[in-house]
Structure 1
Amino acid sequence: MDGGVFMQNNSIAAPQNIVMENRKNLRVSGVKDIDSFTETRIVLSTIMGELVIRGEDLHVTALDAETGDFSMTGNISSCVYSRKSVMDGPIKKLFR
């Protein structure tokens, strides 16, 4: 499986890439939406789940909705996937 993400419908999506340069620039692929952003915190909805970026002077420089490519600048202190799962949506509620 060449590092692709296996989806429930048995298709393979492109892998998610995260590239950070000197803790100042960040590029992420597979971004579906920007859930929220401030100068100290950016929350992204990605193909791999919720991604939380923390730091100072954070600025979104681009989001291409067609390709899912996201970029930002700032003083990045952390980049963490939250415990919120991709399955925490309406499908999970059906199985409770």
Structure 2
Amino acid sequence: MTLQPDNATYTIPTGDHLLTVRNRKRMDVTSVKSIERFDQEEFLVHTSQGHLLIRGEELRIVHLDVDKGLLTLEGTVKTLQYDDEDNGLSKSFLHKIFG
């Protein structure tokens, strides 16, 4: 990632995953492949860096661009947890449902 100090412009190389949280109230995520499940308290997002579990209160999607892999959420962010592609959160979730 390259920062241009004069105009605060960020250049994000294609495919890079970037996560920004502003005051725990707004969150931007890049390289989003899919949203596997969500409600007001929890989002499970599949990113290029694995699964990202976001927990909080009154979470809602402000912007989603599937083609560009961009997601913006608002609400109170309390927990962020990453898990690798091949194990963990998604399998645990499916295991809970199907045993």
TM-score range normalised by the length of the shorter chain: 0.7 to 0.9
Deviation at 1:13, TM superposition (A): 5.2
Question: Residues 3-82 of structure 1 correspond to what in structure 2 (within 5 A)?
Answer: 14-82=15-83
- % same residue: 28
1:86 matches 2:97: no
Check whether the contact 2:61–2:73 (CA below 8 A) recurs between aligned residues: yes
1 CA distance for matches of 2:63 and 2:44?
14
Q: Letter of the aligned partner of 2:35 in structure 1?
A: I
**Residues 12-61 of structure 1: CA deviation (Å, up to 9, x unaligned):** 95210000000000000000111000111000011111000000000011
TM-score, normalised with respect to structure 2: 0.70
2 CA distance for matches of 1:81 and 1:87?
12
Deviation at 1:87, TM superposition (A): 3.5
Q: Which runs of 5+ in 2 are unaligned?
A: 2-12, 88-99
**Higher fraction of helix:** 2
Q: Which runs of 5+ in 1 are unaligned?
A: 3-11, 89-96
**Residues 47-84 of structure 1: CA deviation (Å, up to 9, x unaligned):** 111000000000011211111010000010011103xx
Q: Number of residue pairs matched?
A: 76
TM-score, normalised with respect to structure 1: 0.72
